[in-house]
Amino acid sequence: MRVHAHRILLVSSLVAVVIFVLGLTSSGLALADAKAKKEIETKMKEAMENYDLLEYEEARKILNQALTVAKKSKMETDPVTARVHLRLGIVYFAGLQDAESAKLSFLNAAEIDSTVKLDKAYSTPEMVKLLDEARSEAGTAGGGGAVEPDGGGGGDVAAVDCAAVTGLQHTIVDTAAGGKELALDAAVGADVQPAKVSIMYRARGAADFSEAKMTASGCVYKGAIPKAGLSGDLIHYYVAAFNDQGRVIASKGSAGSPNIIEIAGGGGGSNLALDEENPLGAGGGGGGEERIDSGGGGGGGERIDRGTGPVVSTGKKTLFIALVGGSGGGYVTGKTEQGTGGNGGNDVKCCFAPQLLHVQPEIGYYLNKTTTVSVVARLGFPVGANIAGHSPVAPAGLVKVRKSLAANGTGLVVSGGVGGGVIRNTIKLDGAPPEMDTDVVAIGPLFVTGGAGYSAGLGGGLSLIAELNAVAGIPVVGKLGNSILNFGVQLDFNLGVHIGF
């Protein structure tokens, strides 16, 4: 009896330990799921903020990163993942004008959660109809041609209705396992009629793309990035259809704006969100200029005509021009330029002097998506000065650096710079007749500037910027020609437009 009691006690203890361990494991998994879900929710919010700012490509990339998080966390069938697919469909349909990819995203969402619905803020009758069609197809066997990832991470096109395919359709892959080849496929419509379809890929830092040809089975083309190509922490790739002259006639991605695959176990541990593509878009793949033609194809796939010349990014801005105007005033000291007696040099008795109008044409370069450096020509006009012989303009030049605090390059912006020239403000003179009572005060010739502002994307490389800048004028020399130069601090409010290209 005693032995039997010991056995019961031992078994009971083991059961208790197993239950305890399972409880800890379940708690750990629940915490991991909660963390992943929070990260996905954050990325969805960030993506739709970009969408609202008309940064559609950035929104697409962030939503694909959210899908990567879901895949790593084994949450492919979680309702939150359905919402990611739904938002990706919104971006494709209303932002990128790609109805076929939008329908595939809606189909993926409906297959996970048949009750998924569009937010009122983004809903349109056309999108509601497309989602209803996707939801109807999701209820049929096999999903009616949905693109589902296969075991290797590629987009396996199944049960494709070739008669309905236009352009080049391919589900972008975000992650892949290192050490084995990655199978990919694409559906190509009869409107394309390619001489060949290929996967173009390159490792991070490589100058040129390598080619992996795809073989056709009906309208579906299959190929693979070889094992040797999946090294490092990430690779760039795109799928392209070529004509018999070797020009790209349809593609998903491009040499200038490739898709990015994060390599699991590739040794780099890169996070897609931290990857900075070349802002110049320089890459191989034939070395030709790529110009997207949005016409034709019924919304399927990007149409690209490759000519000659250097590769130009289709999604990255490298230069910008700007026209900015504003008003301001500042703290001034010293003496005026002219004087009531014509000899110049009236003492400045009041500290504040306005400059009601200035314009600032500007040309700059994007160091990366959030940082620019530019050359600014500041032309001020001392409106209201009435002393005979006063200068009607105040020329100055600045070299300026701006930094956006948001990852998409918009929102709050800080700036700083240096330059030289003259800023002329107007100031009232005591005891002077009304027709000669407003003189000019000059500050400079060395300028140090700093400021903050807000930039709002308007789409198509166009953005609106409002800035508040402080410019300190330092008289490293006392005179410039006949102008008396003083110390002063100018405060400018500027408003203008930037056009990136």
- 457-494: pLDDT as tens digits: 877 678 899 999 999 999 999 888 878 899 999 999 99
Identify the burial level of 401 via C-beta atoms within 10 angstroms of its C-beta, where 0-12 means exposed, 13-18 middle and 19 or more buried: middle
Calpha distance 66→376 (Å, rounded): 40
Residue the block writes with tokens 């005693």:
2
Neighbours of 14 (CB within 10 A): 10
Alpha carbons 170 and 272: distance in angstroms, whole number: 20
Which value, to the nearest 10 degrees, does the dihedral of the CA atoms of residues 302, 307, 311, 313 take?
A: -30
pLDDT of residue 264: 77
Closest CA to 378 of 331, 333, 334, 327: 327
DSSP 8-state symbol, 113:
-
Return the CATH class of domain 33-144. Answer: mainly alpha
Residue range 70-126, pLDDT digits in tens: 878 888 888 888 888 888 889 888 888 888 788 888 888 888 888 888 887 787 888
Q: What pLDDT is attached to residue 431?
A: 78
Residues 6+ apart with CB under 8 A from 356: 327, 381, 383, 384, 426
Q: What are phi and psi of 72, to 5 degrees?
A: -65, -30
| In contact, 440 and 337? CB cutoff 8 Å | yes
Question: Which pLDDT value is given to residue 317?
Answer: 63
Low-confidence ranges of the chain (pLDDT < 50): 3, 17, 21, 24-26, 29, 140-158, 267-315, 340-342
Handedness of CA 122, 128, 132, 134 (dihedral sign): negative
CATH 1.25.40.10 positions along the chain are 33-144
Would you say 220 and 185 are in contact if contact means Cβ atoms under 8 Å apart? yes
With 0-12 / 13-18 / 19 or more C-beta atoms within 10 angstroms meaning exposed / middle / buried, residue 260 is buried
Side chain identity at residue 243, one-letter code: N
CATH of domain 319-500: 2.40.160.20
Residue type, 118: L
Round to whole Å and give the CA distance between 466 and 454.
5
Nearest Cα neighbor of 121 from 48, 208, 225 is 48
Instruction: Write down the pTM of the prediction.
Output: 0.44
Residue indicated by tokens 């001034």: 332
Asked if the 151-314 domain carries CATH number 2.60.40.10, the reply is: yes
Q: How far apart, in Å, are the Cα atoms of 101 and each of 98, 104, 162?
A: 6, 5, 15
Q: 303 by DSSP, 3-state: which?
A: strand
What stretches of 444-487 adopt beta strand conformation (E)? Answer: 446-459, 462-474, 479-480, 483-486
CB 248 within 8 A of CB 242: yes
Cα–Cα distance for residue pair 337/347, rounded to 1 Å = 10
Span(s) in the chain for CATH 2.60.40.10: 151-314
Look at residue 314 in the predicted model and tell me its pLDDT. Answer: 35
